[in-house]
Amino acid sequence: MLIDSHCHLDHWREDEIPEVVARARTVGVGALVTIGTRLAQAETVQRIAAAHPEVWCTVGIHPHNAAETPVPTVEEILRLADHPRVVGIGEAGLDYHYDRAPRAVAAEVFRVQIRAAQRSGLALVIHARDADDDIAAILEDEHARGGPFRFVLHCFSSGRRLAEVGVALGGMVSFSGILTFKRSDELRAIAREIPADRLLVETDAPYLAPEPYRGKRCEPAMVVHTAARLAELRGMSPQALAELTTANAERLFRGLRVPAGVA
């Protein structure tokens, strides 16, 4: 069974979600992590996860939303993360492509979420777009300041140096449908070199549908196409890649398991 380590089920109506989860299960996706992007959204993702045994969730603040509310305290984040279906903090990080929040504010919100991950032991889910150097510097600085923490560079589309920094600090690297795009040769070269115990797969649904569905609304079921491409790149069978990435996801997201009867 595969795990879709990053999707956004709150982008579907709640009455649609059972069908989305069922379609994923039918093709061999045994668990999904639905990701928080605003603290005000925490109750929504928790409710979705609680309603479906295959679904887990995170709570956090996407860099796009970093300036919408005052910078939270670590304690505020930890209170919201204290839920049996929460397995991570985030989606946190920096995005200099859209720059929807002042960079200094976004960096402060990112650091607060790192510290929440350090305090809680929950995995930090990192969004990185056109901000590789600053993300690497913040990760190294917070690691030196507060010690190691679990994290994943989600939907990886950055350069080789950020991947190397992430791996050196103990992080994982997750690949989405971008890996299947025709112009992603550099990304595929990086994917071949990531240590096996640091690999994850995801959809980022409803975004970034892989080939042959590019341009359509992405669903968690489509992670099988990204996984198949990653298996091919690394000379593995799809089954071996599924076993590997599932074990990695379960190790990263403390408490996440493919529920009994699904596998």
Between CA 109 and CA 111 the distance in angstroms is 5
Residue 260 pLDDT: 79
- pLDDT greater than 90 at residue 255: yes
Looking at the domain assignment, is residue 262 inside a domain? no
Residue 263 pLDDT: 55
Between CA 262 and CA 144 the distance in angstroms is 41
- pLDDT greater than 70 at residue 262: no
Task: With CA atoms as reference, report the closest residue to 153 among 84, 202, 105.
Answer: 202
Mean pLDDT of 37-62: 98
How many domains, in total, are found in the chain? Answer: 1
Contact between residue 209 and residue 218 where contact means Cβ atoms under 8 Å apart: yes
Looking at the domain assignment, is residue 259 inside a domain? no
CATH number for the domain spanning 109: value is 3.20.20.140
- The two structure tokens encoding residue 8: 């956004």
Question: How far is C-alpha 111 from the chain's CA centre?
Answer: 17
Looking at the domain assignment, is residue 17 inside a domain? yes
Query: For residue range 73-90, what is the model confidence (pLDDT) as tens digits?
Result: 999 999 999 999 999 999
* Whether the predicted model's global pTM rises above the 0.95 cut: yes
Looking at the domain assignment, is residue 49 inside a domain? yes
Looking at the domain assignment, is residue 261 inside a domain? no
Query: For residue range 158-193, what is the model confidence (pLDDT) as tens digits?
Result: 999 999 999 999 999 999 999 999 999 999 999 999
Between CA 183 and CA 42 the distance in angstroms is 36
* Residue 83 DSSP class: S
Give strand ranges (E) for 150-238.
151-153, 172-175, 199-201
Q: Which domain holds residue 69?
A: 2-252
C-alpha distances (whole Å) from 89 to each of 38, 114, 118 are 11, 8, 10
